[in-house]
Amino acid sequence: MSREPPTYANCIGGAWEREPDTMPARNPATGETLGLLPRSSRETAGRAVAAAKAAAAGWAARPVWERAAMCIAIGSAIDERRSRIARTLSEEQGKPLAEATGEVAKAADGFRLAAELVRQMRGETIPTEDAGKFVMTIRQPRGVYAVITPWNFPVNIPVEYLAPGLATGNAIVWVPAPTTSVVAVSLMQAIEAAGLPPGVLNLVIGEGAAVGDEIVVHPDTHGIGFTGSAATGRRIAERGAGKPMLLELGGNGPVIVYDDADIDRAAAAAAGGAFFNAGQVCAATGRVLVHQRVAEPFVDKVVEHARAVVLGDPLHQGTTMGPLNNPKVAAKIAEHVEDAVARGARLHVGGRKRPDLGSDLYFEPTVLSGVTREMKINREETFGPVVPVLSFRDDAEALDLALDSEYGLSVGVFSRDTSRALRVAEAIPAGIVNINGPSTYWELHLPFGGGSGTRSGVGRLGGKLTLEAMTELKMISLHRG
């Protein structure tokens, strides 16, 4: 006898509330229904904003050490539930259980890091021309934050906003991606179990066009945090105009491999950056620019890495890559590969869906060579397990190819010539350049974000930068009398 799937709820003002309208949560590996999620309305999102507004002043008034202690308690609560949250994450998102477990562990670390950093936040005193004035600056919470997060890292990316936001005294309304909202409930339950006061964090599940838009435009939200696609980020920027924003958007950053590079290291980094989380990473190996003298051995080595990937059920021991998360991303990857092959690219390995593994969201790790500028896989963010290789003749062409992109998030540069690598790093308008390392390298305390004038976002996540972005810098002058 089959069990009815569970019905999940929003958390508003400390109360778990169901919605009359629901939508299914599905396991991308099997197509199984994991439960029924709220399809919340704008009115529900508005009530969540009201709950956050009611809680904001009291939370902001708590001493910094008390808010830091709460973040440490939340980190411990996540640790205590690590196995359970990781399994839910793997089932709902599709990543292998080992990757999911690592993500949950980093989420706990994120709360502990915020606790450490908020206790170190400082203002300053500023010398003045007027001898009768004493001037200082302080940092205060902005008020109510609207936070909208994606499905590719549905535990760790929310924490990149939630931990700094709570540590600095903001109240938050959080809208997670619909395709990974069951694990959002699990994370919210852990935060609630740690003792966070009601209304300080509110979870609203639903479609972004309704609940996400409502918290962006609502007059009682005072800041916006969003990680997701460039197109959605642009709409949020327009709809939330005038509010402080952290927008972490897409990337298609190149990995550049020069003829003097360590080819083994470069190939391993390119493959890892493309196949980790099935390539569903904004800083993934979007395209690889390889000097023509080393292109053939480089491609051969990447193909070896692709063949070594174990594609299968993410809960099975030994699986190293699971299914894609949703049909939309699967369709885009297939379109990009088909377009490249039709325009003359060579398919070395992969390029197919594998419905025989349990669903049509399994996509083989794929390597393409002979990719050219005009192909979609070079122009757009693919967001899948594909390594597309373009070749170049000299340094000038390499830089020209690297700059021929609307994105500017993360870049990898492989060369034994440090001077050359640093020149390239300075010339590319990206927020992150990793020399002799994968484009995906990042740690929680390091700056992460897109270059100005690109489609990769505004502002920087990471360490103290997020805490500063989510606070207001206030100048106070005192007349000495």
Q: Residue 8: what residue type?
A: Y
Task: Provide the β-strand partners of residue 24.
Answer: 36
Task: Say if residues 121 and 106 touch (Cβ distance below 8 Å).
Answer: no
Angle of the 97-118 helix axis to the 64-80 helix axis, nearest 10: 170
Choice among 214, 248, 364, 381 that is catalytic: 248
- DSSP letter for each residue of 459-471: S-BSHHHHHHHTE
Q: Is 282 a catalytic residue?
A: yes
CA distance 439 to 436: 9
Tokens standing for residue 277: 């989380």
- The residue-averaged pLDDT of 400-424 equals 98
Tokens standing for residue 91: 């089932």
Convert 323-338 to b/e letters by CB count within 10 Å (16 or more is b): bbbbeebbebbbebbe
Q: What is the pLDDT of residues 211-261, one digit of tens each?
A: 999 999 999 999 999 999 999 999 999 999 999 999 999 999 899 999 999
Taking the alpha carbons at both ends of the chain, their separation in whole angstroms is 82
Choice among 71, 103, 214, 282 that is catalytic: 282
Task: Say if residues 255 and 440 touch (Cβ distance below 8 Å).
Answer: no
- DSSP letter for each residue of 270-312: HHHHHHGGGG--TTS--EEEEETTTHHHHHHHHHHHHHH--BS
Q: What is the pLDDT of residue 4?
A: 86
- The residue-averaged pLDDT of 172-194 equals 98
What pTM value is reported for the model?
Answer: 0.97
CA atoms 81, 461, 423, 456: torsion sign = positive
Q: What is the pLDDT of residue 3?
A: 75
| Cβ-based neighbours of 235, under 8 Å, separated by 6 or more | none
CA distance 78 to 172: 19
Domains and CATH numbers, the chain: 10-249+459-476 (3.40.605.10), 254-443 (3.40.309.10)
Q: What is the pLDDT of residues 334-362, one digit of tens each?
A: 999 999 999 999 999 999 999 999 999 99
Mean pLDDT for all residues in the chain? 97
Q: What is the pLDDT of residues 63-77, one digit of tens each?
A: 999 999 999 999 999
Tokens standing for residue 378: 């070079």
Q: Is 238 a catalytic residue?
A: no
- The residue-averaged pLDDT of 11-27 equals 98
- The residue-averaged pLDDT of 119-142 equals 97
Task: Say if residues 225 and 233 touch (Cβ distance below 8 Å).
Answer: no
Residue 1 has pLDDT above 50, yes or no: no
Phi, psi of 51 (to 5 degrees): -65, -40
Q: What is the pLDDT of residue 253?
A: 87
Q: What is the pLDDT of residue 96?
A: 98
CA distance 212 to 231: 14
Q: What is the pLDDT of residue 103?
A: 98
- pLDDT band per the 50, 70, 90 thresholds, residue 2: low
CA atoms 73, 74, 79, 83: torsion sign = positive
- The residue-averaged pLDDT of 103-130 equals 97
